[in-house]
């Protein structure tokens, strides 16, 4: 067998498999471990979307329905994305040049690196962050430079801290709000600042907007494309996965700067052949329903808000004070006093409460001192887990 590539040496398994291994080991020993670690909605995709899939997959009049998904002229999905951007953000997008459909946004997030990064180039990535921003750079044999997210700056990076030598080699800058894992939310002012910075230093901003429609307490999250002229320097990644509970369907988009969209589409045309057509139709249906009736996803969002409050109340009872997040599917909490780091606390919860959470330190130094709880588990499971956490903490 040949030796695996240098990429593979660096790539390693996907995030936090160490915790995963420990959970499996404890489960094998018979412990009833509850995991609150992963952000993958437990609720089903709403019926009208499922029914559109069934309709289109069985539509014998559509003789093209099983053909490659990338082939012209099936444009129902990009058109629906453009309609959604108009209605949701009042942003105009040309479905032909400013939208590319993705096999889930993760796919595009990884592939955009191949469009811009050569060895020696740099992608600026927030720390902590969704790991795929780094993966893309790594696969392109490029480098990443961490922009620490600071609690005192509401978990936004301080652009003025990035050294000029780094900026000379930087091409991409990743942002993600509402944020995973910190649950931080921003207003348009912050995006304004980011766009200005990107224009000054010739960067492409890659904004990951996966949670833009999962927000609470009346907060409405902006798109970076609402900033005037943002299209000159930004591409935004979106997904049906979280707002419509469609993680397994694999459908999302990238929109904005036409050149970036074209390059990403070129990489994809050379690697994949598109999304299964009935899934494109069902995805379009999801967005069309949203455009007619934005409250369509309210029950889903209310479910997460109820769970968020459950987790917050319980943490407070146990003496941990957390700000209620205004968006995302996560509670990002400081570890209680008396623990030296997030890994120690995660181990404590696993061994004493049989609950697995994500230690913030797993995301790098800037995440240290925090842990993440995901709200994508049934209410009764979350209740039981929080009861166990409370009692373990009150015992010490
Ligand atoms: C879940 C998630 C995604 C992507 O999901 P897809 O299912 O690939 O569309 C992207 N970014 C963040 C931060 C996420 O948490």
* C-alpha 168 – ligand 1 centre gap (Å): 29
* C-alpha 208 – ligand 1 centre gap (Å): 8
Distance CA 56, CA 374 (A): 34
Which pLDDT tens digit goes with each residue over 85-115?
999 999 999 999 999 999 999 999 999 999 9
Rounded to 10°, the helix 277-292/76-89 angle is: 20
86 alpha-carbon distance from chain centroid? 22
Instruction: Determine if the peptide bond prior to 128 is cis (ω within 30°).
Output: yes
Residue 371, strand partner residues = 333, 359
**pLDDT for residue 14:** 66
Going by their DSSP bridges, the two strands 170-176 and 204-208 should be labelled as: parallel
**Could you tell which of 112, 128, 130 is best to mutate to test the pocket of ligand 1, judged by most ligand atoms within 8 Å of the CB?**
130
* C-alpha 130 – ligand 1 centre gap (Å): 8
DSSP label of 231 = G
Which pLDDT tens digit goes with each residue over 38-87?
889 999 999 999 999 999 999 999 999 999 998 777 899 999 999 999 99
* Rounded (10°) CA dihedral 327, 329, 330, 331: 60
* C-alpha 186 – ligand 1 centre gap (Å): 18
Distance CA 154, CA 163 (A): 22
* C-alpha 108 – ligand 1 centre gap (Å): 10
Query: Which atom of ligand 1 is closest in space to residue 130's alpha carbon?
Result: 13
Which pLDDT tens digit goes with each residue over 291-350?
999 999 999 999 999 999 999 999 999 999 899 999 999 999 999 999 999 999 999 999
Q: What is the DSSP string of 73-114?
A: T--HHHHHHHHHHHHHH-----TTTSEEEESSHHHHHHHHHH
Percent of the chain whose pLDDT exceeds 90 = 90
* C-alpha 212 – ligand 1 centre gap (Å): 11
pLDDT tier, 174 (very low <50, low <70, confident <90, very high otherwise) = very high
* C-alpha 242 – ligand 1 centre gap (Å): 8
**Could you tell which of 208, 213, 253 is best to mutate to test the pocket of ligand 1, judged by most ligand atoms within 8 Å of the CB?**
208
Distance CA 98, CA 254 (A): 8
Rounded to 10°, the helix 379-394/298-317 angle is: 10
**Region 142-170: what's the mean pLDDT?**
97
* C-alpha 106 – ligand 1 centre gap (Å): 6
Contact 185, 221 (CB under 8 A): yes
Structural tokens at position 311: 């987790």
Distance CA 21, CA 35 (A): 12
Burial class for 142, CB neighbours closer than 10 Å (0-12, 13-18, 19+): buried
Residues lining ligand 1, Cβ inside 6 A: 39, 104-106, 130, 176, 180, 208, 210, 239, 241-242, 247, 252
- Candidates 207, 326, 307, 317; CA nearest to 256 is 207
Query: Which atom of ligand 1 is closest in space to residue 107's alpha carbon?
Result: 8
**Region 168-183: what's the mean pLDDT?**
98
Distance CA 169, CA 121 (A): 5
Q: Angle at CA 268, nearest 5°, toward 57 and 277?
A: 10
Going by their DSSP bridges, the two strands 330-334 and 252-256 should be labelled as: unpaired
Q: Does domain 47-295 have CATH number 3.40.640.10?
A: yes
Distance CA 127, CA 358 (A): 15
Conformation bin of residue 174: beta by default, left when phi > 0, alpha when psi is -120 to 50: beta
Distance CA 40, CA 256 (A): 27
Which pLDDT tens digit goes with each residue over 12-36?
766 666 678 888 888 899 999 999 9
* C-alpha 239 – ligand 1 centre gap (Å): 7
Q: Whose CA is nearest to atom 14 of ligand 1?
A: 210
- Candidates 321, 352, 350; CA nearest to 336 is 321
Query: Which atom of ligand 1 is closest in space to residue 328's alpha carbon?
Result: 15
6-44+297-395 has which fold? 3.90.1150
Which pLDDT tens digit goes with each residue over 227-278?
999 999 999 999 999 999 999 999 999 999 999 999 999 999 999 999 999 9
**Could you tell which of 136, 184, 211, 239 is best to mutate to test the pocket of ligand 1, judged by most ligand atoms within 8 Å of the CB?**
239
Distance CA 223, CA 87 (A): 12
Distance CA 224, CA 212 (A): 11
- Domain range summary for the chain, segments of one domain joined by +: 6-44+297-395, 47-295
**Region 278-282: what's the mean pLDDT?**
97
């Amino acid at each position: 067998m040949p030796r695996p590539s240098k990429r593979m040496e660096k790539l390693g398994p996907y995030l936090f498999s160490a915790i995963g291994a420990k959970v499996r080991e404890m489960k094998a020993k018979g412990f009833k471990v509850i995991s609150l670690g992963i952000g993958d909605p437990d609720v089903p995709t709403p019926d009208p979307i499922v029914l559109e899939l069934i309709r289109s997959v069985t539509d014998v009049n559509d003789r093209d329905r099983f053909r490659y998904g990338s082939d012209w002229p099936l444009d129902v999905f990009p058109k629906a994305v453009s309609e959604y951007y108009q209605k949701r953000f009042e942003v105009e997008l040309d479905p032909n040049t400013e939208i590319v459909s993705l096999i889930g946004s993760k796919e595009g997030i990884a592939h955009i690196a191949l469009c811009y990064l050569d060895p020696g180039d740099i992608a600026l990535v927030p720390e902590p962050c969704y790991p795929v921003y780094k993966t893309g750079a790594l696969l392109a044999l490029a480098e990443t430079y961490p922009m620490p997210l600071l609690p005192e700056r509401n978990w936004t990076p301080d652009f003025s801290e990035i050294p000029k030598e780094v900026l000379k080699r930087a091409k991409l800058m990743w942002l993600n709000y509402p944020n995973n894992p910190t649950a931080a939310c921003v207003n348009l002012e912050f995006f304004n600042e980011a766009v200005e910075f990107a224009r000054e230093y010739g960067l492409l901003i890659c904004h990951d907007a996966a949670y833009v429609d999962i927000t609470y307490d009346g907060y409405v999250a902006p798109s970076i494309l609402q900033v005037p002229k943002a299209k000159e320097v930004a591409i935004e990644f979106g997904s049906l996965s979280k707002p419509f509970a469609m993680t397994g369907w694999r459908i999302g988009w990238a929109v904005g700067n036409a050149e970036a969209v074209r390059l990403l589409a070129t990489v994809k045309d050379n690697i994949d052949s598109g999304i299964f057509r009935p899934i494109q139709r069902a995805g379009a249906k999801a967005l069309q329903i949203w455009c007619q009736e934005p409250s369509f996803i309210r029950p889903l969002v209310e479910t997460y808000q109820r769970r968020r409050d459950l987790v917050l109340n319980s943490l407070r009872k146990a003496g941990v004070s957390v700000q209620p997040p205004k968006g995302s599917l996560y509670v990002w909490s400081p570890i209680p006093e008396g623990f030296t780091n997030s890994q120690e606390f995660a181990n404590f919860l696993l061994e004493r409460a049989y609950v697995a959470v994500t230690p913030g330190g797993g995301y790098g130094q800037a995440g240290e001192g925090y842990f993440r709880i995901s709200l994508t588990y049934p209410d009764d499971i979350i209740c039981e887990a929080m009861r166990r956490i409370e009692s373990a903490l009150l015992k010490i």
